[in-house]
Amino acid sequence: MTVGVLALQGSFNEHIAALKRLGVIGVEVRKAEQLQDVSALIIPGGESTTMAKLAGYHNLFPSLREFVKMGKPVWGTCAGLIFLADKAIGQKSGGQELIGGLNCTVHRNFFGSQLQSFELDVSVPEIAATEGGPPNFRGVFIRAPGILEVGPEVQVLADVAVHSDRTANFDSVESSEEIPGSEKKVIVAVKQGNLLATAFHPELTADTRWHSYFLKMVKETSEDTSSSTASSAGIIRLPQPPKYDLPIYQQ
């Protein structure tokens, strides 16, 4: 299993180091043709506008969109989440190009500026159930986005409470899960088919459970592909019998 990490800017080295701790090869991806050699892709956190400009400069967007459409596993963290979203708001003038595929609306700087970065214990029942360990994960939120809306096919893996007096973008949250005391919940981690996305940075912690969870997605996808190929290869096609023009017997 070889996992590509988009290495245009941001915390790609940290993702590669986390994969190495799990015994998996992580390779830097900067060109479209390199996507042909990897089983899956991680889009790291960083400065999303800068990453988008570099991806456009290297003409990566068509290949990245095709990679997603092919059903190969892709995980976006922070800026990577913004890239995968079908819709992003709160962007700079002119916006930025997106890969898309993840049926959600993301607010680009939902939790504020760089100075408002923080760490928070996030409840992760799905991760704890599949990967073990404690029920919470120490989320590192750096100028982090927030997921405002998701489609019906999107599985919510984690959300956090936000306060009206602490979050400038509180009114943009249309959460159906209101909390008493001027609080709402904003989604910070989701899964949709072959796509995984987190608003925080698991690669900046020693806890590799999110990476392990993603690798299980990669393995399942590889097994499904192998099974499909094997099934096709197992079909025995018998040759058609030759046709003979025999004379018609008449009495």
Active-site residue set: 78, 201, 203
Whole-angstrom CA distances from 247 to 188, 240, 242, 244, 250 are 78, 21, 16, 10, 9
Q: For strand 195-198 and strand 74-77, is the pairing parallel, antiparallel, or unpaired?
A: parallel
Cα–Cα distance, 207 to 166 (Å, whole number): 28
Residue with tokens 């060109």: 31
Helices (H), 70-175: 79-84, 125-131
Cα–Cα distance, 188 to 126 (Å, whole number): 13
Residue 28: which H helix or E strand, with range?
strand 25-29
Contact (Cβ atoms closer than 8 angstroms) between residue 100 and residue 84: yes
Q: Which two tokens stand for residue 130?
A: 């599949």
Contact (Cβ atoms closer than 8 angstroms) between residue 51 and residue 19: no
